[in-house]
Amino acid sequence: MGYDVVMAKAFVNPYRVGRPHIVNNLSRMGIIRVILTNPTKIGNNIKTLTDSVMVVGGMSMLYERPAVKALVIVSSDKDFLPLTEKARERGREVIFASFSNSMVTMIKERFQVNDLLEFSILNETFDSHIYSDVEEITV
């Protein structure tokens, strides 16, 4: 799309991924820093602060790296809309990437959306060492 990638982080709730090798493969690509958020089990529910950690990371980028011209959010979640509004206020382009069948209509109508279906290589396992190069955040 004409942008150089200067920072790529994947904030991951390990219980929501479903296939651990996807996280491992993201890490193996080399340019994506994978950050696992610390889950907490409450009864039968698993809770993390993944979205909050991601928003703080996005806000930090907006204020600490003024040369960054675009923010790419890989999510179909409308919880990130306040971050997108702040990014636009600060003159950044906002792009969403997700599987189009799970993307909420509001995001499809307001932002450029790239469908991740074409990146199905993430379903292939590069090796058997799961989560070998990922960082874990305890919040």
Q: Which of 36, 58, 57 shows the shortest CA–CA distance to 135?
A: 36
**Is 55 part of a structural domain of the chain?**
yes
| Residue range 95-122, pLDDT digits in tens | 888 777 777 778 878 887 777 766 655 5
CATH number of the domain where residue 57 is located: 3.40.50.1010
**Is 138 part of a structural domain of the chain?**
no
Three-state SS letters, 65-118 = CCCCCEEEEECCCHHHHHHHHHHHHCCCEEEEEECHHHCCHHHHHHCEEEEHHH
* Domains held by the chain: number: 1
The domain of 29 spans 9-123
Average pLDDT for 46-64: 88
Q: Which pTM value belongs to this model?
A: 0.68
CA–CA distance, 54 with 74 (Å, rounded to integer) = 10
**Is 133 part of a structural domain of the chain?**
no
